[in-house]
Structure 1
Amino acid sequence: MFGYFSTRGFKEYLKVAKQTLDGNWTGSYTKPSPSLYPHQWNWDSGFIAIGYAHYNQKRAQQEILSLFNHQWPNGMVPQIAFNPNALGNYFPEPDFWQVPNGTLTSGITMPPLHAIACLHIYEHAKDRDNAREFLKEMFPKLLASHRYFYQFRDPDRSGLVYIRHPWESGLDNSPAWDGPLKNIHVDKRKLPPYERKDLKHGVPAEQRPSDEDYDRYVHLVDIFRRLSYKEEDIHEECPFLIQDVLFNSILCRADRDLLDIGRILDEDTGEIQGWVDQTSKAISENLWCNKCNKFESFDLISGEPIHTATAASFMPLFAGAASKEQAAVLYETINSISFCALHQGNCFTIPNYDMTKEDFDSKNYWRGPVWININWMISQGLKGYDYKEKSDAMKRDMIQLPIRFGFHEYFDSQTGNGYGSSNFSWTTALFLNLVYEYYDKDTHRFDWLKLGKTKKLNKRAVLNQGSEPRVSQGENVAPNLMASIGDLKDRFYNLNRGLVDYADMKGSPEYRKYQTLASQLQSFDLLSLSSVAEKKAFWINLYNTIVIHGIVELGITSSVKEILDFFINISYRIGEFVFSAQEIEHGILRANARPPYRMFPSFKRHDARRQFSLVKIDPRIHFALVCGSRSCAPIRFYEPEIIDQQLDTAARNFINSSEVIILPERNRIFLSQIFDWYKKDFGGKEKIFHFLLQYLDEDDKAEFLKENTDTIGVEYLFYDWNLNH
């Protein structure tokens, strides 16, 4: 395994993305889009600041500070802060809202992303001292904004806050609001006159909320105006009060991040800890529907849960509020045809609404399209629960959609076409975040490059060396060892997630049993492995387990790069021979092919270990070998009887993950560095594409590759060496 990286292929897109945000920057805040949204929007600024945090700390901080300059005395951060120089192009504007004291804001709020953004700014800051001062300035403001919710939007002190307008959810015309809105009687004769300006900016009406929806939106605002925005009175009279699962999930996640900020600043965090505990518990217990196996919003007016099938149901993953059991159930729904399963082929990442529903609409605003911000949060949540493969596949789609179709507001979940506003800021900002965090070299993620922190072993570690247990004559060590590996797999390998629980493994009875059996390999006759299938399964499983054994025994916490030449210096004694992980990979499984960037093969001409080498390289092994890092293949256990099918599955899963990205519109393909390091194993550069086509899902991208193998440009993706735990 090797460790350099390259992201040069994304540089032009990073440049375009930054230019897009520059074009929307006003000098104090960033417009969501050039024309349709000319003012500052609440949660938009949170997402935008997250993108800026990677390359423009000053602007990221200004984005948040500018918004909080409009914070209300009661702590509420308004949905919109209006630019007095841009009035007349949007509805509703200040003259319609009529908020107290003539403030140029709307009279509602939005999901509170700001603590999340502030912590992100601090974590990625180049000037940490400046970022700490920024946190000091923001902490009391953030605290006030969270107190507002628990004081005014949770009168029963349940831990769940309510929204009082669909716009507060951020999901304006979500199917979740159909029932509650229909229960609101609107007398059009008493409805204030208004003009929809959202349809005057070139966005087709079928991609926006209906006129009937707008009537109800306006009716609710009229109630707020009449009640002078007094929260207690609104609670008594408003016909739309929803404990929204998305809103509460974001609040819960923001509570957790505010708690971290408080600890960074050595502030008293008791109150915040109480919010975290109460809200996470309330989400898990009160918004979970046992009959339908999902989280649902609750309508306080009807006293009933809102049965619908939107992506908001997955947001407790982002909050960290779902139990492991609930997360597993959610994952089954996420990874289904309802919400674009892995390798489905006819869809892009998670749509906002169940694709199997009759009223699903891939073009209509919050009723079916893909939204990058929702997918970003769900992907973060899946990552937190260790569903790596799905999280990575979502990241791949979130990166390729803007590259292929532009930085649009939302995307067709089936074709990928962009809809709504173009040059949309949060799509652009989160694209920047994904590229910087997932593919580029953020310095805080690569401490292993600092050679002073790399540990050098005095000698090669023979991990299974020790007192050799007595082995009865004729006893076959291999089946017992493989069974023991199976026990480790069952308890500590999460096959769905491709991860290993290293901490719990060490000291467990299963691990001690494995160590005992591994020491018996010192008496094992390798010539007893007769078939190619037996050899492949034995050596792949052994390689993977040596790597895991090495990580556990050497106390690695972040990356195998903590140990200099890790793969060379961890080994097992098998019979009379010692094999390092590198020698197993290159000397045995790669038929003694020369390791990349080395002058000689692992086994020289007269090395007796050459007799155990496979005769022919099977390139699929590269998707089976585990290097203890996130960019490796997921953990699997290989069996001789079905190893061909298993290797095919491993290849298919890897090639249809975020390690292979095809961009037809750019005539370019991005590949894992595995295809660069081991191009000869795949038959040379020109045959890599033919190999890919054997396993790619049959869709328009695979067809494009088939027709353009001679002209398509190739770039290689960053290889993530962080530990897969």
Structure 2
Amino acid sequence: MSRLFADAVTRAKDILEANWTGAYTKPAPGLYPHQWNWDSGFIAIGLSHYDTARACREIESLLGAQWRNGMVPQIAFNPAALGHYFPEPDFWQADRSPDAPEGVLTSGITMPPVLAIAAEAVWRNARNRRAVRPWLERVYPRLRALHAYLYRERDPAGEGLVYIRHPWESGMDNSPTWDDPLSRIRIEPGTLPPYERRDLGHGVDPAMRPTDADYDRYVFLVDLFRRHRYDEAAIRAECPFLVQDPLFNAVLARADEALAELARALGEDPGEALEWAEATRRALREKLWHPEHRIFDAWDLVADRPIEVDTAAGFLPLYAGAPTPDQARALYERLNTASFCGLHQGNCFTIPNFDTQQEGFARENYWRGPVWINVNWMLAQGLRRYGYTLKADSVEKDLLQLPIRFGFREYYDSFDGTGYGAEGFSWTAALFIDLAERLHGDDRAGPGIWRRVRGAVAPMRELNDGPAAEGVAPERLAAELMAAVRALARRFYDTRRGRVDYERLGASAEYARYRELAAALRSFDPGLLVGRREKLAFWVNLYNTIVVDAVVALGVRRSVQEVPELFRRVCYRIGPYRFTPDDIEHGVLRGDARPPFRPFRQFGARDPRRAFAVVPPDPRIHFALVCGSRSCAPIDAYEADRIDTQLDQAARSFVNSSEVIVIPEEGRVLLSQIFRWYEADFGGRTGV
């Protein structure tokens, strides 16, 4: 991790330390003194990278407020911090319910169920799982009880979609989605219980918060709940606000997946959780999908109709893997517009919470326009789940640069990045830590450190040893081979998403033809390549296709990291010479340079392969070579007559990703470690 990222991570950890109460982490100083449900889940995810014990305590503390029916409340109140927030326990009167926990003060509603996702992160990141297992054995039944409550009490029709009964349960308190169902609530004069807002007494601009009219309706609903003693059936019969929310249900389906993983970790049957997940995913794509709007809408159960308001919540089913491939493509196309800050748009931050082209968009107002870190953290994972890598990189870049540039705030202006709401906000700090650790935590190890996987180093594997194509003249072989690479790219490379369909590729006629031509390289003289552009295109394509060939030939399932020393231990024979991917990268394309963290040049002084080195080398090749690492390029097929344009585009895509972050306020740039490892290739510091 670079020094600049490390400094920001230290600041984020300091925020979590300052907000730690000894039992839980409050969301922020001042306005939020208690323990909030999904806040604690996100906080635990960040803590899981460096303080497992505290992450466990965070989750278990919240579960200590769980109701007997399984509900985990939106807020667990700290008795020592009362008097600074509304509504507090005296207004909720949760103790009217026979299901409320004894000796714990809570609200009477819940929030999006991220706790299983957080517990999964704690288990996954734990350095000593044996020590964590007793904790997991304690919390797993409680997490299962939460999910069972939601499907039992909030999905009475058995659709697979649960409803929320208060806007606060969505986490998006004053989202424009709630305007229509809330507008049905008619409050007769003198019928509303007296109350006093406390949120505006902490120096927060009223323009950035829900209106008084919003609060009247929030209070109306709370009063209804307590009058019915929090009996779910009685509330359901009278409540004017019952909504199936795409965000809540997407989080639930993703949490079901996490619950299944936790069950497996404990040797339990994951079947129930997997059935829940599939039922919710199916219902999301069948009921909430709006094909004309290309987004998922909330469903108003009282009016029995969709709520056609487009917010970031409508993209969250990506996080759960709910959309079909066609729906995901349509979602991406809608997301990648000016309405939600398109890729490389340049004048905005991704993803604003509400359609910026709508009249009601308000860039400073809470859930009616700003960028929220937690929503976009989930959305980036959803985009990556469907392979929309460039867009995911763009979202994650903003998730990193917003806190670095504008502080760890509650939310941010979607155009100029100004931080709004509470300062020192815990989930912003925690999710920044998570992203920085996942994306840049291993940067200090150096390029290809994962190639030195423990285990026996395999002998050299010559991949192009099959039957060779016949009747191809030597002077035509390079052109024929490049045509075969382009044929593979057209059918099996998704260059927008950086994916290869290895299964279909491996069984295809195009791949069989490529293999025959690759085998013919055993009789090919690389000296026949003439001109810089032809050499660049040939060697870049060959490098990338050797990697693809290795994945297919060696049966790699998930990552080339499965194969120790792959980039040094697979090769093609070209004429009398062997070329590994490392030989092509460092020996040919880098002009026989010394690989980082190795003492000698790739080729020895008398190595005849030095004659094929591209001189002068082009540093843009670092943005074109695939390597199995997230910092490496998405795969593409390069053409000699377009190679410079393509390399420029690859460089722009890299610079626009989270690998490069500009901080104009401080006159600094956070650069990928690639620029340090290959500094000489770029012409030294001045060139970088």
- Shorter-chain TM range is over 0.9
Inter-partner Cα distance in structure 2 for 1:668 and 1:393: 19
Instruction: List runs of 5+ in structure 1 lacking aligned partners.
Output: 1-5, 689-725
* CA deviation vs aligned residue, 1:84-137 (integer Å, no higher than 9, x gap): 111111111111112234962111111111111111111111231232211211
Shift in Å, 1:311 = 0.4
Say if 2:400 and 2:658, in contact at 8 Å, map to a contact too.
no
Check conservation: 1:454, 1:562, Cα contact below 8 A. no
The answer to whether residue 628 in structure 2 is matched with residue 633 in structure 1 is: no
Matched, 1:304 2:299: no
Q: Using the alignment, how far apart are the partners of 2:364 and 2:674 within structure 1? A: 37
Q: Give the deviation of 1:63 after TM superposition.
A: 1.2
Which AA in structure 1 matches 2:177? A
Structure 1 residue 504: Cα displacement: 4.8
Match of 2:51 in 1: 56
TM-score normalised by length of structure 2? 0.94
Q: What is residue 436 of structure 2 aligned with on the other side? A: 435
Please say if residues 455 and 563 of structure 1, whose CA atoms lie closer than 8 Å, have aligned partners that are also in contact: no
Equivalent residue number for residue 691 of structure 1: none
Task: Supply the AA of the counterpart residue of 1:94.
Answer: P
Equivalent-residue separation in structure 2 for 1:285 and 1:563 (angstroms): 41
1:32, 1:44 within 8 Å by CA — same for their partners in 2? yes
Determine if the alignment matches structure 1 residue 515 to structure 2 residue 515: yes
Structure 1 residue identity aligned to 2:227:
R
2:323 maps to a residue whose letter is A
Number of the residue aligned with 1:73: 68
Q: Verify: 1:314 aligned to 2:309, yes or no.
A: no
Q: Aligned pair 1:232/2:194, yes or no? A: no
Whole-angstrom distance in 1 between the partners of 2:16 and 2:166: 29
Amino acid of the structure 1 residue aligned with 2:389: K
Structure 1 residues 659-696: Cα deviation after superposition (integer angstroms, max 9, x where no partner)? 111223444322122212222222211121xxxxxxxx
Asked if structure 2 preserves the Cα contact closer than 8 Å seen for 1:454 and 1:561, the reply is no
Matched, 1:46 2:47: no
Cα distance in 2, alignment partners of residues 557 and 455 from structure 1: 19
Alignment partner of 1:11 out of 6, 12, 16:
6
Q: Is the 8 A contact 2:244 2:299 kept in 1?
A: yes
CA distance in 2 between partners of 1:170 and 1:524 (Å): 63
Q: Counterparts of 1:270 and 1:139 in 2: how far apart (Å)?
A: 15
Tell me, yes or no, if the aligned pair for 2:2 and 2:673 is still in contact at 8 Å. Answer: no
5 Å-filtered alignment, 1:490-501, equals 490-501=490-501
Distance 1:83 1:433 in 2: 27
The equivalent residue for 2:100 is: none
Paired amino acid for 1:523: S
Comparing 339-348 and 244-253, the one that deviates more: 339-348
**Counterpart contact for 2:111–2:168, Cα < 8 Å:** yes
Residues 442 and 79 of structure 1, relative CA distance in 2, 3 Å threshold: farther
Quote the offset at 1:441 in angstroms: 4.0
Distance of aligned partners of 1:122 and 1:563 in 2 relative to their CA distance in 1, 3 Å threshold:
closer
Q: Distance in 2 between matches of 1:542 and 1:432?
A: 38
Q: Relative to structure 2, which stretch is displaced further, 285-294 or 595-604?
A: 595-604
Over aligned residues, Cα RMSD in angstroms?
Answer: 2.4
Shift of the alpha carbon at 1:248? 0.7
**Matched residue type, 1:492:** F
Q: Residues 537-556 of structure 1: CA distance to partner in whole angstroms, max 9, x if unpaired?
A: 12211121122223333444
Partner AA of 1:330 in structure 2? L
Which residue of structure 2 aligns with residue 618 of structure 1? 618
8 A contact 2:355–2:361 mirrored in 1: yes
Q: Percent identity?
A: 54
Q: 1:472 to 1:335 in 2, by over 3 A?
A: closer
Write the deviation string for residues 368-414 of structure 1: whole angstroms up to 9, x where unpaired: 11111001111111122222222222222112211211111111111
Q: CA deviation at 1:611?
A: 4.1
C-alpha separation in 2, matches of 1:452 and 1:304: 55
The answer to whether the Cα contact below 8 Å between 2:221 and 2:239 also exists between their aligned partners in 1 is: yes
Name the CA distance, whole Å, in 2 between partners of 1:377 and 1:561. Answer: 26
Q: 1:77 to 1:351 in 2, by over 3 A?
A: same
What is the TM-score of this pair, normalised by structure 1? 0.89
Q: CA deviation at 1:633?
A: 1.1
Measure the CA separation in 1 of the matches of 2:435 and 2:671.
17
Question: 1:492-524, CA deviations, whole angstroms, 9 ceiling, x for partnerless residues?
Answer: 322112133445544444322221111112233
SS in 2 for 1:670: strand
TM-aligned CA deviation for residue 610 of structure 1: 4.1
Q: Distance in 2 between matches of 1:592 and 1:263?
A: 49
Helix, strand or coil at the partner of 1:476? helix
Aligned to 1:120: 121
Specify the code of the residue in structure 1 equivalent to 2:345: Q
* Alpha-carbon offset, residue 482 of structure 1: 1.8
Q: For the Cα contact (< 8 Å) 1:245–1:312, is it kept in 2?
A: yes
Mapped partners of 2:45, 2:594: distance in 1? 44
CA-CA distance at 1:24 after TM superposition = 1.1
**Separation of aligned partners in 1, 2:394 and 2:75:** 33
- SS in structure 2 at match of 1:436: helix
Residue 379 of structure 1 corresponds to which residue in structure 2?
380
Cα offset for 1:67? 1.1
Offset, 1:566: 3.4
- Which stretch shows the higher mean deviation, 287-296 or 566-575? 566-575
The Cα of 1:48 is off from its aligned counterpart by 1.0
CA distance in 2, matches of 1:597, 1:76: 54
Measured in 1, the distance between the counterparts of 2:488 and 2:680 equals 34
Greater CA drift, 532-541 or 407-416: 532-541
Q: Deviations over 1:339-396 (max 9, x none)?
A: 1222221112211111222221111100111111001111111122222222222222
Structure 1 CA distance for aligned equivalents of residues 448 and 190 of structure 2: 66
Question: Which residue type is aligned with residue 645 of structure 1?
Answer: T
The match for 1:206 is 207
- Partner Cα separation in structure 2 for residue 229 and residue 241 of structure 1: 15
Aligned-partner Cα distance in 1 for 2:467–2:214: 76
What CA distance in whole angstroms lies between the structure 2 residues aligned with 1:603 and 1:113?
A: 52
Structure 2: gaps spanning 5 or more residues: 97-102
Question: SS where residue 165 of structure 2 aligns?
Answer: coil
- The answer to whether structure 1 residue 687 and structure 2 residue 684 are counterparts is no
Aligned match of 2:413: 412
Q: Which range moved further: 46-55 or 547-556?
A: 547-556
Task: State whether residues 97 and 106 of structure 1, in contact with CA within 8 Å, keep that contact through their aligned partners in structure 2.
Answer: yes
Measure, in 1, the Cα distance between the counterparts of 2:469 and 2:495: 31
Q: Contact 1:471–1:520 (CA<8 Å) still a contact in 2?
A: no
Greater CA deviation, 360-369 or 126-135?
A: 126-135
Cα deviation, residue 639, structure 1: 1.3
**Which AA in structure 2 matches 1:462?**
E
Within 1, Cα distance between the matches of 2:170 and 2:82? 24
